[in-house]
Amino acid sequence: MRNRKQQGQIIRIGDRWYVRYWERRNIGGTIERKRVTHSIGEVTTRGKRPPADIKTEAERHMATVNGGTIPAERIATIGDFVEGVYIPWIERYQRPSTLKGYRQVWKQHLRVAKGRTGEPSCESVWLKDTRTHHVQGWLNAIAKSGTLSRNSLKRIQSTLSGIFSLAKQLGYFEGVNPVQDTRIDPTAAEPAETYAYSLEEVQSLLALLPEPAATAFAVAAFMGLRIGELEALRWEDYRDGEMHISRSIWNGHIGAPKTRKSAAPVPVIRQLAERLEMHRLHSHSPQSGPIFANSLGNPMSMNNLLGRGIRPVLNRCARCGRSKGQPHLKADHEYQRDARLPQWHGWHAARRGLGSNLYRLGVPPMVIQRILRHSNVSTTANYYIKTAADDVRNAMAKLEKTVSENPGSELRDTFGTLEPILSALPESIN
């Protein structure tokens, strides 16, 4: 059936102009003919008739309506598309942790975001009518709270871009991705600095932690495994002096490692090999199964190990030596952490620490990338190599030594200062 071309009716509601027309749309899975009211601009004149620029904008919008090729069943709101198409697509093709992240961004930030006053929320906007100014308005509104860092805003922007990319691929959207020319708030806070354990901190922690926490931390610190890869290790993976990484666990879900390059062997140094053999003996010498197993023989949760075997050791009172929490409740004094004990900065700080410690030992970034199994070396250099203050001072000391050894580096008067005239010396002035 051929669609009749419409001119649309320009109307004024409050302080905005709208164009009204009819369109067949997908409403909850049913194709219905709906009367659409589309905002085309603010009221800036006193007259009752729309000005020329509003008429031009109405004609432009109606041209897209009359010339559109999107079938009625694919004309949906952003909310319907995300809930009915995008999230199921992520669930089918991405990792469970990725799905959780996208769901969180949608529900906590994007779904209810509003741009200008009086405009509908993001979930209520029709997908095919979304333009760059809509997206920029949502990003500005989300950033206005001031609680999100620049990286968090970039993640929200990236999620929106992915939504429209999939919509375009599946025929729900036409034209340039409206997220393409948007910008996040340049005044947003920089992300907090991440931590990397030094080699000295690693040795200090290993001297304090009980088993199996000490061995688990040693694997994280000397192999640079992610927490999910650490939980998924099996004795069958340990052979020929290498640990072959082939799986990861997230919230009980067993899957492939984070990236294709993450599935690779990692050499095991002698000190770690000795710890692993001692751990195997204490576990009754298994040849298969999880390296770190709970009482039921299933993979042990590293977060449970943290709560039961690591924090109680590191968070002790300076006065009585009792652990923070339940053991200290009956004490006759307030808890005060023993500052002599090393602090816990998370499992991933061990992975960053390996990258930083190898770099301090002179290992090239390309080799560190292979050990940490990153997809590209820029990730290694930007996020996993932490330069300590001593490294900076040593680097400048090397420069100082090199400059001093240069024959032409002695201090010279490069400004061509004239020799002072004796009669003009301060002592000769009356």
- At residue 329, the pLDDT reads 82
Task: Point out the residues of the chain with pLDDT beneath 50.
Answer: 1, 409, 423-430
- At residue 423, the pLDDT reads 45
- At residue 193, the pLDDT reads 86
- At residue 46, the pLDDT reads 83
pLDDT in tens, 84-103: 999 999 999 998 999 999 99
Give dist(CA 160, CA 122) in Å, integer: 10
- At residue 408, the pLDDT reads 56
Query: What number of CA atoms fall less than 13 Å from residue 170's CA on the CB side?
Result: 19
pLDDT in tens, 152-206: 999 999 999 999 999 999 999 988 999 999 999 999 988 888 999 999 999 999 9
Place of tokens 């509908």: 120
- At residue 1, the pLDDT reads 45
List, in order of start, the domains of the chain with CATH numbers: 9-73 (no CATH), 78-169 (1.10.150), 210-346 (no CATH)
Give the predicted TM-score (pTM) of the model: 0.72
- At residue 412, the pLDDT reads 57
